[in-house]
Amino acid sequence: MVEKVKANCNYSGRVVEGPTNPIVTPLLTDLYQFTMAYAYWKANKHQERAVFDLYFRKNPFGGEYTVFAGLEECIRLIANFKFTEDDISFIRESLPGSCEDGFFDYLRGLDCSEVEVYAIAEGSAVFPKVPLLRIEGPIAVAQLLETPLVNLINFASLVATNAARHRFVAGKSKSLLEFGLRRAQGPDGGLSASKYCYLGGFDATSNVAAGRLFGIPLRGTHSHAFVSSYMSPDEIIDKSLQSADGSSSCEDFVSSVQTWINKIQWSNSLRGSFGETNHSELAAFTSYALAFPRSFLALVDTYDVMRSGIPNFCAVALALNDLGYKAVGIRLDSGDLAYLSCESRKFFSTIEKEFGVPGFGKMGITASNDLNEETLDALNKQGHEVDSYGIGTYLVTCYAQAALGCVFKLVEINNQPRIKLSEDVSKVSIPCKKRSYRLYGREGYPLVDIMTGENEPSPKVGERILCRHPFNESKRAYVVPQQVEELLKCYWPGSSDKPREDLPPLKDIRDSCIKQLERMRPDHMRRLNPTPYKVSVSAKLYDFIHFLWLNEAPVGELQ
Ligand SMILES: Nc1ncnc2c1ncn2[C@@H]1O[C@H](COP(=O)(O)OP(=O)(O)OP(=O)(O)O)[C@@H](O)[C@H]1O
Ligand SMILES: O=P(O)(O)OC[C@H]1O[C@H](OP(=O)(O)OP(=O)(O)O)[C@H](O)[C@@H]1O
Ligand SMILES: O=C(O)c1cccnc1
Ligand SMILES: [Mg+2]
């Protein structure tokens, strides 16, 4: 379902390829964007210059931060925004017959050359109400962009945040593998989850298409089916295995494994800890090792982890060790993962001592099975020996929160600021074409994001500035920033010759995401009752918001 669309748009001297998913075209929008576009056109209003902000209102997962993702795919859409004749015929069929032909000629010539896009860098930590994207352009085309842009950013940012939160609980030293493709919301859900979980701090994915399309490292083990498909060691026909350095060969690796299982069973320190292990499991492990002697990893919970899986794994790993190969480790996919990982580690350490195999005690332990933030946290509290987690369902489906709730609101038309009022204050939009800045404090942490009017002077390092809560009069603070970072940069200058930002490779976005999250004050990041990060407006913008609010809100009449 996914293939790369032919590159056709020149951007900053380079070509911007089409969206990763070819379904992302100008038709991937809501019908009402076309009906509004027609009404704008009919009223000769379609070329009026509009400014829209794309933002969200509340951080997901009960947290106080969000990872911004999806920008590159937005720019790919914008750079390649063009209706085909088939598209236009379909739109004509879908709109009422009374729509005039001129509108379809207008659509035929439409592209995003008059649109400008300002955005925060992809992979940044972002906060409610601060625009992630500002779209400026003729109102009709900006309106058509609403749905696809919100769509491209919503899930991307949600799942990247979910990944970052899993990383935060797991800790820096653990390896995090995304295993969610089979459980994701369809092919695009799966592919997007793989891409943005990597961006949010995962190390690898099992999704081969994502590995190919995005260069994400691929990792994987094997399934229970592989283990249970074997009945006995007699099924293994080719039993020979060359040593790692190629200098010798073991003619009967199956017997070598058998010798080792007997040695382990009768060793001083392990005697009595297990009886007869499952032979078909041993056959499966042996066969897998013959196929992958340099990267042998076994799923050990098909029959019984401590009585069968672990001893069988060790027998194969020791037989490989005789030939100069180092086994990678095991995967646990059921049971008490804290307990079983600790017991497995003890077993490996005992083997290391008993048979004098240096490093055997450090054998890799991967855990999987319905893991999520809570189970990772529980494992940490109990103490465990897991080195690597394979996480699927809860991660990629964003089980704990279904959507981020991004919105796209008109903030200015023909240089006139606009506001959207609501009974619910958190839903009142912040009018005007704005600039936003992140102000850093003495200890190097970001302190506050501040929005100002477009033409206000920018905050200056060392200069005190009043930061006001946009809607709560009593909440304000002076800040003397030690560093000022302007957040919105130009990513799509339309046909103007403004300087434009690069679209960095996914790996670089991931690195900067990890760095940024590490730079946040720890109390914003903690899972339980995190401190909200402050989002503010300048004194001037505050006054203007409230002036416009009063102007637009009708005065009630009591009877
Ligand atoms: N030590 C632990 N502390 C907290 N949660 C754990 C621990 N170990 C495993 N879990 C979680 O407990 C759940 C156990 O799942 P479930 O009840 O389906 O049992 P199972 O081990 O998969 O059993 P089965 O053998 O039937 O597959 C999973 O979500 C797993 O991540
Ligand atoms: O548990 P998740 O976080 O979704 O991670 C992926 C799961 O997918 C695989 O098996 P599958 O779930 O298909 O079968 P199982 O439940 O019998 O292990 C794997 O063994 C994991 O359990
Ligand atoms: O490689 C694995 O172990 C894997 C991949 C997908 C889902 N579950 C496990
Ligand atoms: Mg499962």
- Please say if the pLDDT value at position 5 is more than 90: no
Check residue 15 and give its pLDDT: 78
Cα–Cα distance for residue pair 354/380, rounded to 1 Å:
29
233-245 pLDDT, tens digit per residue, is 999 999 999 999 9
Per-residue pLDDT at 240: 98
Residues 219/223/227/230 CA torsion (nearest 10 deg): -100
The structure tokens 């074997």 sit at 230
Q: Which of 301, 334, 343, 381 has the most ligand 1 atoms within 8 A of CB, as the residue to mutate?
A: 334
Say if CB 163 and CB 395 are below 8 A apart.
yes
pLDDT bucket at 9, cuts 50 / 70 / 90: low
Spell out the residues 6+ positions from residue 450 whose beta carbon is closer than 8 angstroms to its own: 436, 437, 439, 459, 465, 467, 479, 536, 537, 538
Residue partners of 106: CB distance under 8 A and separation at least 6 = 41, 46
Q: Whose CA is nearest to atom 6 of ligand 2?
A: 392
Cα Rg of the chain, angstroms: 29
pLDDT of 4: 38
pTM: 0.96
Q: What per-residue confidence (pLDDT) applies to 423?
A: 87
Nearest CA to ligand 3 atom 5: 179
Give domain 31-164+401-552's CATH superfamily. Answer: nicotinate phosphoribosyltransferase (3.20.140.10)
3-state secondary structure of 259: helix
Over the stretch 98-155, which tens digit does the pLDDT of each residue have?
A: 999 999 999 999 999 999 999 999 999 999 999 999 999 999 999 999 999 999 999 9
What pLDDT is attached to residue 19? 98
Ligand 3 contacts (CB < 6 A) are 179, 206, 220-221, 331, 368, 390, 392
Residue 417's DSSP bridge partners are 412
Q: Say what the pLDDT of residue 12 is.
A: 52
CA nearest neighbour of 536 among 128, 135, 133, 134: 128
**391-401 average pLDDT score:** 98
297-329 per-position pLDDT tens digit: 999 999 999 999 999 999 999 999 999 999 999
303 alpha carbon – ligand 4 mean position (Å): 15
- Rounded distance between C-alpha atoms, residue 344 and residue 305, angstroms: 8
pLDDT of residue 426: 86
Alpha carbon of 402 to ligand 3 centroid (Å): 24
What separation in angstroms does the CA of 32 have from each of 91, 93, 257, 384? 12, 14, 67, 53
Q: Does the ipTM exceed 0.90?
A: yes
Average pLDDT across the chain, whole number: 96
172-186 pLDDT tens trace: 999 999 999 999 999
pLDDT at 11 over 90: no
Options 3.30.70, 1.10.760, 3.20.20, 3.40.50; which CATH number does 221-386 get? Answer: 3.20.20
- Cβ neighbours of residue 505 under 8 Å, at least 6 residues apart? 215
Residue to mutate, 179, 207, 391, 393, ligand 2, most ligand atoms under 8 Å from C-beta: 179
Runs of H (alpha helix) within 46-134:
71-79, 85-94, 101-108
Render the burial of 314-330: b for 16+ CB within 10 Å, e for the rest: bbbbbbbbebebbbbbb
Cα(513) to ligand 2 centroid in Å equals 28
Domain limits of the chain? Answer: 31-164+401-552, 221-386
Ligand 2 atom at minimal distance to the Cα of residue 334:
18
Average pLDDT over residues 427-436: 95
Residue whose CB lies within 8 A of the most ligand 3 atoms, among 178, 202, 223, 388, for a mutation test: 223
- Picking from 479, 483, 389, the residue whose alpha carbon sits closest to that of residue 178 is 389
Using the mean position of ligand 4's atoms as its centre, give its distance from the Cα of residue 214 in Å. 26
For the CA of 179, the closest atom of ligand 2 is 6
How far is it, in rounded angstroms, from Cα 390 to Cα 116? 41
Portion of the chain with pLDDT greater than 90, in percent: 94
Ligand lying nearest the CA atom of residue 333: 2
Q: What is the distance between the terminal CA atoms of the chain, rounded to a whole angstrom?
A: 62
- State both tokens at 80: 């390649």
